[in-house]
Structure 1
């Protein structure tokens, strides 16, 4: 059986966001063991949604749709960052430093993809206009 990582090995952001989602699932399971259900639920939703939106962007109907899906992933990453910072500030919550470092890396790559896609979209539009 082929794994996600094997199938998408040439797509860095997909692999990183998938690996991050796996770690979020494990982290939120620790929270649930300690009866921290509300925070666990919020973090699970936003933290796994990042990769799901990036995966969905791979089948976008247009460049604008691609950018839009990546922007949604960015919003989910921002929300995830909030919950991870909150966990860091609360007593008796597992440490989130490693997750934050990975999230910052995903945010950098995602920002770059959005910026590059916007430039490419403008270039494509200009070429069509010039024809």
Structure 2
């Protein structure tokens, strides 16, 4: 997957998170969770763009770790929404799958660059 394809994929993910947030019932608890979900979900794409501007492998790793944290946090909030049954499970499944796939991509990228850094010592 190219950098531009992943930029587009993470932006699409952000938009899907926003779409989901706008459809969840409005309660005191859900407002808090939705706020956290939108923050972390949109941070995935925004921070991935920062990764693409990294000036070194070490900077790449530092920034990519932020992206990984945000994608994992987003997955956590999606699981909470699922378990609270605030949204249809069937409709959440594709978003949870995408969050898992993005997380796996970020982990793989981190492993590759960390190996490169460690082998150049």
Q: TM-score normalized by structure 2? A: 0.85
Within 2, Cα distance between the matches of 1:107 and 1:17?
A: 11
Within 2, Cα distance between the matches of 1:94 and 1:30?
A: 11
The partner residue of 2:115 within 109, 113, 119 is 119
- For the Cα contact (< 8 Å) 1:17–1:50, is it kept in 2? yes
Higher relative contact order (CA 8 A, sep 6+): 2
Unmatched runs of 5 consecutive residues or more in structure 1: 1-8, 127-131
Q: For residues 86-97 of structure 1, what are the structure 2 equivalents within 5 Å?
A: 86-95=80-89, 96-97=92-93
RMSD after superposition? 1.7
Q: Kindly indicate whether residue 78 of structure 2 is the aligned counterpart of residue 84 of structure 1.
A: yes
Number of corresponding residues: 115
- Computing the radius of gyration from Cα coordinates, the structure with the larger value is 1
Unmatched runs of 5 consecutive residues or more in structure 2: none
Q: Kindly indicate whether residue 33 of structure 2 is the aligned counterpart of residue 39 of structure 1.
A: yes
Which runs of 4 or more aligned residues in structure 1 lie more than 4 Å from their structure 2 counterparts after TM superposition? none
Q: Which residue of 2 aligns with 1:106?
A: 102
What is the Cα deviation at residue 58 of structure 1? 0.8
* CA spacing shift, 1:92–1:121, aligned 2, 3 Å: closer
Q: Which residue of 1 aligns with 2:12?
A: 19
Q: SS of the residue aligned with 1:61?
A: coil
